[in-house]
Structures are given as structure tokens and as C-alpha cells.
């Protein structure tokens, strides 16, 4: 089962650089997952501007640029997603929202489980960003999970195994993805058939 960990911040001084190695190592400890980290710093996506005139062949969209095409294909490879996000002004980082919006026409997220790790330098822990991501995930037809991880005070806290508040939630989150994936599989097959019929 392929799990993509999407890093939602690209800021030069981002606290994500403390969180990502910890999350990735915990996820990789589950033998059933093939884990891949997608850092949005490495995906210089343009601001979303795709439309039905820019995608070309709907069966094999070319989009307005090769990087958008590659991004859609990359997202489609995964079976499940874990998004690591800070909170900017009570919501989702713009580059993360743009990356999700750019998965256009390909339905790459459709009927696949998605969960979140939120973090912050203060007490908020990215929870309002996660609330918005749940709504966004539903709209892109992913399957947002109830189990999430929130990490406050990441600038001063050392993320390591002895911290019971940190290890227990993340140990639960990847395990939760497996039954969600199984239950979503019939839906994914059905949605593909419907898409072919309507195209």
C-alpha cells in the first residue's frame, strides 16, 4: 500500500523540518506501507488556472504545463495520503491548497483515505487548518479520517519516542488507513466505471 506524505509548508524557516522526519519514520515502521514524501518545495506548481480548454484529452490530460501533468500522475500513484500542515490565519497554507486544487480532472484523490498531522509553534497545533482540510478532502472525493495528530509547541518540544502524547496518536493513524483503504476499494472501482460511462 503506497502512502504519500505531503509536506504542506514551503517557508524557508518552516517548523515542518522538525516534524517531517519524525512522521516519516513512524509511518515507515509499518511494513504494509511503501512511504513516499512529497515536499511542495520540490513541486513548483503554478497558481491554479486549469480549465477544460487547457487539459487536452480528458482521458490523458496534458494540462497547461508539464509539472501539473506530473503532479496529477504522482498523486494518482498513491493509495492513501498523510498531509502535514501548519496553520496560517486560521486556515490552510496557500501552496497546499493550490497543490490540492491542481489535481484537476484526474480525480487522483477519489475514494482514497486521507489523514492529517497539524503543528504550530503555539498552542493551536494546526487544528483549524485540519478542519478546513477535512472539508477540502470531502470535495475532492477523498476519504478524510477522524484520527489525526496535532502537535503544539513544536519549536521547543523534542519529538521523540518517550513523548506519550506524540507517539500514541501517530501509531494509530497509519494503522487506521489500512481498513479505510479496503472499504474504499469497491467505491473506487465503481467510480471508475461511472467516469468511463459519462466521458
Residue 158: give its domain's CATH number.
Answer: 3.40.50.360
Give the total number of structural domains in the chain: 1
Please check the confidence at residue 158 and state whether its pLDDT lies above 90: no
pLDDT of 50 higher than 60:
yes
Kindly state the cell numbers that stand for 194. 461511472
Residues 3/80, Cβ–Cβ less than 8 Å = yes
Neighbours of 131 (CB within 10 A): 16
pLDDT digits (tens, 9 = 90+) for 66-80: 999 999 999 999 999
State the residue range of the domain holding 185: 2-198
- 174 pLDDT above the threshold of 60: no
18 φ/ψ angles, rounded to the nearest 5 degrees: -85, -35
- Predicted TM-score (pTM) of the model is 0.81
Give DSSP secondary structure letters for 74-128: HHHT-SEEEEEE--BTTB--HHHHHHHHT--SS-TTTT-EEEEEEE-SSS-TTHH
| Cα–Cα dist 135/137, whole Å | 5
Amino acid at each position: 500500500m503506497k502512502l504519500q506524505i505531503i509536506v504542506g509548508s514551503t517557508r524557508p524557516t518552516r517548523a515542518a523540518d522538525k516534524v517531517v522526519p519524525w512522521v516519516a519514520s513512524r509511518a515507515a515502521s509499518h511494513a504494509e506501507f511503501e512511504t513516499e514524501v512529497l515536499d511542495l518545495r520540490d513541486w513548483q506548481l503554478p497558481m491554479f488556472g486549469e480549465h477544460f480548454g487547457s487539459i487536452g484529452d480528458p482521458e490523458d490530460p496534458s494540462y497547461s504545463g508539464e509539472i501539473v501533468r506530473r503532479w496529477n500522475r504522482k498523486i494518482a500513484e498513491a493509495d492513501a495520503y498523510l498531509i502535514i500542515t501548519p496553520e496560517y490565519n486560521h486556515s490552510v497554507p496557500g501552496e497546499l491548497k493550490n497543490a490540492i486544487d491542481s489535481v484537476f480532472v484526474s480525480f487522483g484523490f477519489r475514494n482514497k483515505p486521507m489523514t492529517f498531522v497539524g503543528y504550530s509553534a503555539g498552542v493551536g497545533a494546526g487544528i483549524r487548518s485540519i478542519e478546513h482540510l477535512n472539508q477540502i478532502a470531502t470535495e475532492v472525493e477523498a476519504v478524510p479520517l477522524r484520527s489525526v495528530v496535532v502537535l503544539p509547541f513544536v519549536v521547543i518540544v523534542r519529538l521523540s519516542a518517550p513523548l506519550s502524547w506524540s507517539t500514541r496518536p501517530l501509531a494509530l493513524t497509519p494503522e487506521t488507513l489500512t481498513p479505510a483503504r479496503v472499504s474504499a476499494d469497491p467505491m473506487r472501482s465503481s467510480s471508475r466505471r461511472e467516469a468511463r460511462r459519462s466521458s
